[in-house]
Amino acid sequence: MSKLVIEGLGRVFPGVRGGAPVTALQPTDLVVADNEFVTILGPSGCGKSTLLRIVAGLDRPSSGRVVLDGREISGPGPDRGMVFQSYTLFPWLTIAENIAFGLLEKGLGAAETRAIVAAYVDKVGLRGFENHWPKQLSGGMQQRTAIARALANDPAILLLDEPFGALDNQTRALMQELLLGIWERERKTVLFVTHDIEEAIFVGSRCLVMSARPGRVKADIPIPLPHPRHYTMKTSPDFSALKARLTEEIRAEAVLAAAH
Amino acid sequence: MRPLEPISAGRRLALGILFFVLFFAAWALATLGGFVPKIFLADPLTMVRDGARLLTDFGFAADILITIWRVVGGFVLAALVAVPLGILMGAYKPIEAFFEPFISFARYLPASAFVPLLILWAGLGETQKLLVIFIGSVFQIVLMVAVNVGQTRRDLVEAAYTLGAGDYGIVRRVLIPMNAPEIAEILRLVLGWAWTYVIVAELIGSSAGIGHMIIDSQALMATGQIIFGILVIGLIGLVSDYLFKRLNQTLFPWRLA
Ligand SMILES: Nc1ncnc2c1ncn2[C@@H]1O[C@H](COP(=O)(O)OP(=O)(O)O)[C@@H](O)[C@H]1O
Ligand SMILES: [Mg+2]
């Protein structure tokens, strides 16, 4: 069943101070099935964030439309949870209050809110940190909170824009396993933007490769690796073959992007 | 000493006190040593004696209280108008476009120049004093609050939208709590300026207050009393500043974390 349908979605930014307009995203079609984990891979500046922000309703397309669960989206809403690359926890709220932000907006009762918050605190391994301020947590813990905050709202689709981009390699690997574990248990529909090839393969069930500016989807590659996945899979022959293929796809784009 | 290297709390306090000690020593030397004539500048001992007499014989404590009441009254009125307006201007660009040009202009109107006009309009009573402080503070607060709210991190606002907040929710649950500490800092700053307006307001057509005492003392050439009045204002400023800071620290613990 198709969860998310993107039809002819394009975005042209007007030129800055009389400059030429920038085509960030060429008209793109995309259908995402229920429970799919789609990774979007591409060099920086190819329009990945633009695509995700339009789906989130934070930016408007120049052409085309986005349909989620049969309804065309026209602005941001709690049915599309988002995790950003920058740390976007609310600094004046504790970890627990951050996770409860959307629940309060929904008007949930105190007892129910507390139960949901406690469940997500556990899922992202932050028990004992409920009453800390975001500043007191490491980057990885902050991003785990951000994931919990988005998931606690029970969105129809989860959007992640290079959520682990600012983390060191070891933390990043652990975060990938954590996110994958949650997905394997709860089967959310996910759009996950990254520029890291291994990450795109390891967590995804399908990978879209985007071309350099102006952005468009140049390859749509299924990732048939079995679940549950273990980090040792990263050294398996199947994984290596996929990695070789994606490296080939992305290399040409990186060369193009670097020439800009 | 190296750039940006922190120092211990004890040394910080000692150095701060050292300045006051040196300041009073230099003052005492200049006056008691006979380098400055007495009628221009009283020495510290005379100042203390005059000050004590003001408090015991001339009811100066009542003057101090009335001045504090004027500052706080005018300032609170200004804050009640300015903070909500500033938040609205920072949040909603059409409201900002409507008010900003006028307020930027009004901000440069010197509050002290309004004193004669305000006396015509409001007489010599308390209303006039409060209005001087109100005019002096309100435009400054509005503009600074508006700029602050307008600079709220966009990614936090966007995160709140994706969590289901509406426009009102963004203002109430993001813009206000995020900027509350800075707004409190702005109020602390402007409260300091309000003290200069109140003295100006009291210098003309006033029958009570610290400023009134100062202008009376000038007629008597009592420089000791004038300096005592100025010092009292400084001390009150120091104490209120400290209280404001402590209040902000308890209200916004997340800033210190
Ligand atoms: N608000 C904007 N105004 C003008 N140009 C923009 C804006 N946002 C993005 N762009 C341009 O659109 C292109 C794609 O940006 P983005 O989607 O952020 O790329 P990515 O996330 O893949 O790195 C870039 O060339 C960028 O400069
Ligand atoms: Mg991006």
Encode pLDDT of B235-251 as tens digits.
Answer: 999 999 999 989 999 99
Q: Mean pLDDT lowest for which of A38-42, A95-99, B89-93, B107-111?
A: B107-111
Question: To 5 degrees, how large is the angle CA A89–CA B87–CA B139?
Answer: 140
Torsion (CA) A176, A179, A183, A185 in degrees, nearest 10: 110
A49, A62, A209, A211: residue to mutate for ligand 1 pocket, most atoms within 8 A of CB: A49
CATH assignment, B42-251 = 1.10.3720.10
Question: Worst-scoring range by mean pLDDT, A172-176, A227-231, A256-260?
Answer: A256-260
Strands A37-41 and A189-194: parallel
Q: What SS3 string covers B29-71? A: HHHHCCCCCCCCCCCHHHHHHHHHHHHHHCCHHHHHHHHHHHH
- Of A160-164, B164-168, B210-214, the poorest mean pLDDT is in B210-214
pLDDT given for residue B80 in this prediction: 98
pLDDT at B126: 85
Give the residue, out of A9, A11, A13, with the most ligand 1 atoms within 8 A of its beta carbon, to mutate for a pocket test: A13
pLDDT mean across residues, chain A: 92
Q: Is A13 in the pocket of ligand 1 (CB under 6 A)?
A: yes
Q: Is the pLDDT of residue B199 over 90?
A: no
Q: What is the pLDDT of residue B247?
A: 92
Please provide the DSSP assignment of chain B as one string. --TT----HHHHHHHHHHHHHHHHHHHHHHHHTTSS-TTTS--HHHHHHHHHHHHHHS-HHHHHHHHHHHHHHHHHHHHHHHHHHHHHHHH-HHHHHHHHHHHHHHTTS-GGGGHHHHHHHHTTSHHHHHHHHHHHHHHHHHHHHHHHHHTS-HHHHHHHHHTT--HHHHIIIIIHHHHHHHHHHHHHHHHHHHHHHHHHHHHSS-SSSHHHHHHHHHHTT-HHHHHHHHHHHHHHHHHHHHHHHHHHHHH-HHHH-
pLDDT at B103: 94
Q: What is the pLDDT of residue A205?
A: 94
CA angle, residues B183, B188, B189, in degrees to nearest 5:
95
pLDDT score recorded for residue A224: 92
Give per-residue pLDDT as tens, A159-202.
999 999 888 999 999 999 999 999 999 889 999 999 899 999 99
Give the HSE-up count for residue A52: Cα atoms under 13 Å, Cβ half-sphere: 30
pLDDT at B122: 82
Check whether A112 has a pLDDT greater than 80.
yes
What is the pLDDT averaged over residues A232-258? 86
With 90 as the cut, is the pLDDT of residue B182 above it? yes
**Adjacent-strand bridge partners of A41:** A194, A209
pLDDT surpasses 80 at A108: yes
Residue ranges with strand state E in chain A: 2-13, 22-33, 37-41, 63-68, 71-72, 80-83, 157-161, 189-194, 206-210, 217-222
The model carries a pTM of 0.89
Sign of torsion, CA A173 A182 B159 A108? negative
pLDDT of A260: 63
| Burial (CB count within 10 angstroms: exposed 0-12, middle 13-18, buried 19+), residue B23 | exposed
| A15 — pLDDT class (breaks 50, 70, 90) | confident
How far is the C-alpha of B38 from the C-alpha of B221, rounded, in Å? 10
Is the C-beta atom of A103 inside 6 A of ligand 1?
no
* Mean local confidence (pLDDT), A27-47: 92
Confidence bin at A250 (pLDDT 50/70/90): confident
Structure letter (DSSP) for residue A203: H
Q: Compute the distance from residue A214 Cα to the ligand 1 centre, in Å.
A: 10
Q: Counting one residue from A and one from B, how many pairs have CB atoms under 8 Å apart?
A: 71
Q: Which residue in chain B is spatially nearest to A59 when comparing CA positions? A: B158
Mean pLDDT, chain B, rounded, equals 92
The span from the CA of A142 to the CA of A126, in Å, is 10
Q: What pLDDT band is residue B125 in, cutting at 50, 70 and 90?
A: confident
Q: Is residue B106 pLDDT above 70, yes or no?
A: yes
- Chain B contacts of A93, Cβ < 8 Å? 177, 254
Could you tell me which residues come within 8 angstroms of residue B189 by beta carbon, excluding any fewer than 6 positions away?
A: B144
| B169 pLDDT above the threshold of 90 | yes
Q: How confident is the model at residue A17 (pLDDT cuts 50, 70, 90)?
A: confident
Task: Find the range with the poorest average confidence among A73-87, A219-233, B131-145.
Answer: A219-233
Tell the residue nearest (CA) to atom 26 of ligand 1.
Answer: A45
Question: What is the C-alpha to C-alpha distance for residues B139 and B127, in angstroms, rounded to an integer?
Answer: 18
Provide ipTM, 2 decimals. Answer: 0.93
Contact A80, A57 (CB under 8 A): yes
pLDDT digits over A53-100, tens only? Answer: 999 999 999 999 999 999 999 999 999 999 999 999 999 999 999 999
